[in-house]
A and B are shown apart, each in its own frame.
Chain A
Amino acid sequence: AQSVSQHNHHVILSEAASLELGCNYSYGGTVNLFWYVQYPGQHLQLLLKYFSGDPLVKGIKGFEAEFIKSKFSFNLRKPSVQWSDTAEYFCAVKGNNRLAFGKGNQVVVIP
């Protein structure tokens, strides 16, 4: 079964700073990759997804992620964060019809 690793569980940064969250997975087969966001008190929402094609994926709210197959990584980035980006971010990997989540990154953006 696949596993997903997210590092730096807690991230604190100021508005306008750049954000990068790492996601590494272990699975040898074909994968679909997702980033979900959970705002305080809300349910998980899809930020972006990768199935095939261009490894640089653009999502909502200015987020993007890059799939690097050789590194088994799918890192999430945003060039300039806002206070409203305070949330928990989950990387998820689907392989063999099972979806596995990472433990999440708690991101706090200070105004």
Chain B
Amino acid sequence: DAGVIQSPRHEVTEMGQEVTLRCKPISGHNSLFWYRQTMMRGLELLIYFNNNVPIDDSGMPEDRFSAKMPNASFSTLKIQPSEPRDSAVYFCASRPDIRGNSPLHFGNGTRLTVT
């Protein structure tokens, strides 16, 4: 299996622009998670889906952030408009299901820089 695939690997954009991060979970995994990693706050859970349905989005920082999972093999995290404080590494992770004891499988992350 190719693992969790994220794109792009790096994204540099100007403040005010729309940013879309993409994630393809491992085939057969029903739960998908978006995390943000910064030096100040470490790893933060933004939102997670189970069977394509958002279960908990309480970690999404502001209305500028939105996430979708239109099907079992694809999810997007969108920031509109982006701000310099959004600069971070964004990780997508998946696992077989929400209730199981299996660990998370992480993607390589997208390093976002907003200037």
Q: Point out residues on A near B: beta carbons under 8 Å.
A: 32, 34, 36, 42-46, 49, 51, 90, 97-104
Contact = CB atoms under 8 A, between A and B. Distances in A.
Contact of A44 (B45, B56, B91, B98): B91
A35 B42 CA distance: 15
B96 interface: no
Contacts of B42: 90, 101-104
Interface string B84-99: 0000000101000011
Interface in B55-69: 56
Which bracket fits the contact residues of B?
Answer: 10 to 19
8 contacts: A43-B4, A43-B107, A43-B108, A44-B93, A97-B98, A103-B41, A103-B42, A103-B43
A102 to B, nearest CB: 7
The 3 closest A-B pairs by CB, nearest first: A103-B42, A101-B43, A44-B106
A98 B56 contact: yes
B109 interface: yes
Contacts of A104: 42-43
Nearest to B40: A103
A104 B37 CA distance: 11
A34 B105 CA distance: 12
Contacts of A49: 103
Interface string B8-49: 000000000000000000000000010100000111010000
A82 B4 CA distance: 28
B102 to A, nearest CB: 9
A34 B93 CA distance: 15
